[in-house]
Amino acid sequence: MHYVLLYKETAAEVGKRADPAEADAYWGGWNAYMGAMAQAGVMVGGNGLQPPETGTTLSIVDGVRHVHDGPFADSKEALGGYVVLDVADLDAALEWAARAPCVSAGSVEIRPVLPPPPQS
Amino acid sequence: MTQAQARSVAEQAARLSYGRLVAMLAARSGDIAAAEDALSAAFAAALEHWPVRGIPDRPEAWLLTAARRTLGQKRARAVTARAAEPVLTLLGEERNMPHDGIFGDDRLKLLFVCAHPAIDESVQAPLMLQTVLGLDAARIAGSFLMSPAAMGQRLVRAKTKIRDAGIAFVVPDAEQIGARTGTVLAAIYAAYGTGWEDVMGADARRKGLAQEAIWLGRLMVQLLPDDPEAMGLLALMLHCEARRVARRDTEGGFVPLYRQDPAQWSRPMVREAETWLRTAATFAKPGRFQTEAAIQSLHAQSLMTGEALHAPLNRLYDLLVAVAPSLGAQVARAVALADSGAPDRALLLLDQCARQAESYQPWWVARSHALRLSGRRVEAAQAVDIAIGLTEDKAIRRFLAEQTAMDRNIG
């Protein structure tokens, strides 16, 4: 089964990316984690994302484009990246989620991928 | 054979094997709702066929085959291209089914699925009652203070989540089984009701499905014969259940434990509880439910012999708070301490958890009890008034009202 793991990070956690004192440990942790998933052959794909302030949000209301700087709403945690895993069941996906560096400084949301629609 | 006979055989098969059949059907597909639907279609078919053709030698196997066929057809209709595969698998499994009528038991897997941490805690116990025992949502709803429609919806949502999120029908590995079993046992205990027994005059928050919960408790002991906590839970429920009759007087009034007549308790249940507790102790792996059962065992012993057992009771409550620091356990420990002649220390303990306990009825009952024992009757009466305001059960409300009247007369 395919699952998407959505990695949510607190602002403090995102801040480590550019903090000289923390950056090595931060990136080292993520590289090792991604490497372990690739090594285990469970990773279908995935990406890290640039920080939330680089995001742009668009909606169209009554035909008018509303472009908004930043993510849609301010929340304590922002999406920092995602992977798609191919594993047997939810427990296996949870095992990988539990190893994510952000799991104790943020959270990981696990969502099963919608199966393709039945062909008629 | 008459329709009535067929119905009675089908109903008996349903009672005995409902959970086993649902578990077997769902374990392969992960789809509990589809398994339940297929099984009820099989029961309907049985009522139609059995009166005409006679009852099959192995009713359970007949029902399983009929349900599997329904599931297979449903899948075949849903997907044309890959249809042959599951149907062929099912037919293969049917051929390989042992002919002595004994087949595997997937109920343990089903119970672990129901109590998976990804399933909302409040729906775990209802889900077990429905899938393993076949209780309908309306019956379950009444015991969990919820409308039948809301309960039905939550059960449907939980089954959809199990199917779509891919929660596996497996028994957890050695590393996890302890914690996961604890969740299953806690859900069964939630179905039984809460710890009203510990505090005199504490309200049962829900009536509970006592018989059904005990049935599930027996099933756990049977499925996990080496788990002392499963035995502890069964012993605990049996001790509480043994006192059911003694808990109400002839006018329906509430009788607290310390005023109950042990002669009214069910002796066979007390004996069985004691046997399970002793067997559990041989594993030398204490835990929450064994401790709670041991506490109830000491309460029973103390009332039957008239001997005060304050010191061992206090030790067990200390242990309970250490292994399972729930608000209920902390309140019960304070009551035991007050009874053993230390009401002031009990009040200190109660003050420590005051902030979480504002609307927790047993906390106010315990506080009034400790205040009364330390001679502060006016404050005790005030605490009882708040407890009365938080009480749902009419008989307990009356019992508490009599107490506060006494406090006011003396104070």
Parse chain B into domains and list their residue ranges: 3-101, 172-349+359-410
Residue A117 lies in a domain: no
pLDDT of residue B411: 52
> pLDDT 10s per residue in chain B (411 long)?
677 877 777 777 776 788 989 999 999 889 999 999 999 899 888 888 888 888 888 888 899 999 999 888 877 666 554 545 555 555 555 544 544 444 568 999 999 999 999 999 889 989 998 998 888 888 888 777 778 999 999 999 999 999 999 999 999 988 888 888 998 998 898 888 754 444 566 665 555 688 888 999 999 999 999 999 999 999 999 999 999 889 888 888 888 888 899 999 999 999 999 999 999 999 999 999 999 999 999 999 999 999 989 999 999 999 999 998 888 899 999 999 999 999 999 999 999 999 888 888 889 999 999 999 999 999 999 999 999 988 877 888 899 998 888 877 765
pLDDT for residue B195 = 47
Instruction: Measure the CA–CA gap between B190 and B326, rounded to whole angstroms.
Output: 14
**Contact check, Cβ <8 Å, A94/B118:** yes
pLDDT value of residue B396: 87
Contacts of A119 in chain B (CB under 8 A): 79-81
Question: What residue of A is the nearest CA neighbor of B116?
Answer: A91
B176, B65, B163, B40: which is closest to A1 by C-alpha?
Answer: B163
In total, the C-beta contacts within 8 angstroms joining chain A to chain B are: 29
Contact between chains at A90 and B116 (C-beta distance less than 8 A) = yes
Element (H, E) at A61: strand A56-61
Which residue of B112, B167, B169, B177 is the best one to mutate when testing the A interface, meaning the one whose CB has the most A CBs within 10 A?
B167
Judge whether B314 and B302 are in contact, CB under 8 Å. Answer: no
Based on the structure, what is the number of domains in chain A? 1
State whether A89 and B118 contact (CB < 8 Å). Answer: no
Q: What is the pLDDT of residues A75-98, one digit of tens each?
A: 789 999 999 999 999 999 999 999
| Whole-structure pTM value | 0.80
The whole-number average pLDDT for the span A40-55 is 92
Instruction: Please count the CA atoms within 13 angstroms of the CA of B118 that sit on its side-chain side.
Output: 25
Burial B252-275 (b: 16+ CB within 10 A, else e): eebbbbeebebeebbeebbebbbe
* Residue A33's CATH number: 3.30.70.1060
Domain B172-349+359-410, CATH number (from 1.25.40, 1.10.405, 1.10.390, 1.20.120) = 1.25.40
Q: To which residue do tokens 């390989």 refer?
A: B96
**How far apart are the C-alpha atoms of B343 and B202, rounded to whole Å?**
18
Contacts of B177 (CB under 8 A, 6+ apart): B171
Mean pLDDT over A9-33 rounds to 94
Q: Which two tokens stand for residue B401?
A: 């009202």
CB B46 within 8 A of CB B2: no
Q: Is residue A68 part of a domain?
A: yes
pLDDT confidence of residue B190:
83
Among candidates B316, B333, B289, which has minimal Cα distance to B188?
Answer: B289
B80–A91 C-beta distance less than 8 A: no
Greater model confidence, A45 or B175 = A45
Facing residue for A112 by CB, picked from B79, B164, B170: B164
Candidate from B78, B118, B168 with C-beta closest to A88: B168
- What domain range is A17 assigned to? 2-112
Q: Does B78 touch chain A (CB under 8 A)?
A: yes
Helix (H) or strand (E) holding A83: strand A77-86
C-alpha dihedral sign at B317, B249, B216, B37 = negative
| A58 is a domain residue | yes
User: Does the residue A66 lie in any domain?
Assistant: yes
